[in-house]
Amino acid sequence: MFEDAIRKALIKACSDRKTRFVPRGWPHRWYPREVIDPDTAEPFTEIAAWDFVVSRLEQDFPLKVLAMEKPAGSWAGVMLVPGEGKRRIYIKVQVFKGAAMGRSFHYSDFE
């Protein structure tokens, strides 16, 4: 149930250019241009990365929900999704007060 609410909040926030961003001054590994889009075989653009996140959330890819310490009361959704070839893409997006903060978008370190 809680996972569904987080998924819906992420879809809403990630879909809107006004409520999605990569936080400056916060730790993140948001590098879409270094990841090949498995649908186009081209590097992701910033916009395409957000669209990819939304599409995978809407397709009900497994989502792990994490409570985040900063800011207090925020949550993050983590997905590990198929990428180019056998590589997997690690995605983490934090949601707080209706905004989506891109924290991770890179190839998984756990291959």
Distance (Å) of CA 37 to CA 6, 31, 83: 25, 12, 7
User: Quick one: CA dihedral 17, 55, 85, 82, positive or negative?
Assistant: positive
User: Quick one: CA dihedral 19, 58, 89, 95, positive or negative?
Assistant: positive
Q: Tell me what percent of the residues of the chain surpass a pLDDT of 90.
A: 75
Tens digit of each residue's pLDDT (9 = 90 or more) over 14-59: 999 999 999 888 888 999 999 999 999 999 999 999 999 999 999 9
Kindly tell me if the per-residue pLDDT of 110 is higher than 80: no
Q: Which tokens go with 24? A: 């400056």
> pLDDT-based confidence at 1, cuts 50/70/90?
low
Please report how many Cα atoms fall inside a 13 Å half-sphere around the Cα of residue 78, on the Cβ side: 8
Q: Which tokens go with 45? A: 């653009």
Q: Which tokens go with 20? A: 């999605």
Whole-number pLDDT of residue 82:
94
Q: Report pTM.
A: 0.93
Mean pLDDT, residues 70-90 taken together: 91
